[in-house]
Structure 1
């Protein structure tokens, strides 16, 4: 396992650094820019040559919902793994087309960090995004950012594809992503885009055209009653029930301070069980 951790975040336990089967990679935190993608690439490079067959991306708030042997079997049967993917600039997008254009056809520059009160005060500035096509303003992800319309600059014939950053990929697919990271036009697009972690892996792999990807993240999310694209935090036994019923392999985002009974109930469902339908995870 490789753990990519915010170097300015909490201290990690000493045993994690010393464990022979755990690699610790420290990097910058934050969201909105290319940081998550760069950290994923660092982790993938660390894994190279270690006999890895698949890379499953999870966060500290993911928790398994099904026994790991079921995940292993599903990955082996999937082709190149499973990753949600959809075009973001045409019909079939899961986002408004304006959102896809703003994220991936503009060159974004970070101006300053924002606290919660400053974000609320400056949010009306985003009205400018609906009045003209040349500039964009964004106050999400704890920073004030301004974007200028430039086009994507991706290689000829490529288009942006979106999806969850939480993917489950064959090593063959990971190697293709690492190769794409050597292409300066691809990385220039990544560095100037907004929230590129929700497009980078999909854009590389779908445009390649040679990968068999099941169109799901294999994650349970609950977006009911939420705003600004963040899923609700999971913390109750009802959340456990709904998450389990989804057939997903992981649920997110779990509250670290959820009652002990929640964790005990989750753990009780992780013992290997009778054979399940192959369709359950799709």
Structure 2
């Protein structure tokens, strides 16, 4: 009986000693893991915020792109901290990294189209082929830029309609930006009736162009004969004006030319080139 009691006491003490040793061992591991989590969380925030400040100061980097890089860096650091904490408890982190890589590959394949839009959005924000407020035209869409996001670009058509274009469709196609350059050329044509004094018509047109202060003197306006049909001569008109007033100047010039040529007894037909930008 005494032997059994002694054995029980010895077994109990052994179990307590082992439990105490395990508690001390894992207690330090748990304490280290908590400290590592808190420190890693704070350090990830400090590093990501510092990176955001540095990136946002780079010329041409949009705030949306800077925030995206900040979030990517922040969560990447948190994942690294989490894997390090698991290593504190003896977990094989190599298998976790492999599993994360496989999961990332699967997610990438499933979201291939979305990732293409994100990549295109990053390139659009870096290279800036267009900015908010500018009018652009591609093979598929045209309109004013309202907002450039990572997934899609919000636009407003000349008719006032809302348009959202995936970034991949804007990145993989030629883009015409009507607002980027400060000056823009205008082209018109005047069809003169038969037996009309071409020199008189040309002088009258040049007088109208030079009288408008919105039309630039350099490059100088041009009026030239480029086509001679059987029953009429066609005078081509070229002038440069500020991009922001391009449409207004075009409309006013057509009206003034029609009135002035009529006053000069110049019989005309006045076809004009259709505007490629919304009026």
- TM-score between the two structures when normalised by the length of structure 2: 0.21
Answer 1 or 2: higher relative contact order, Cα 8 Å, separation at least 6.
Answer: 1
**Which structure features the higher share of helix residues?**
2
Q: What TM-score comes out, normalization by structure 1 length?
A: 0.21
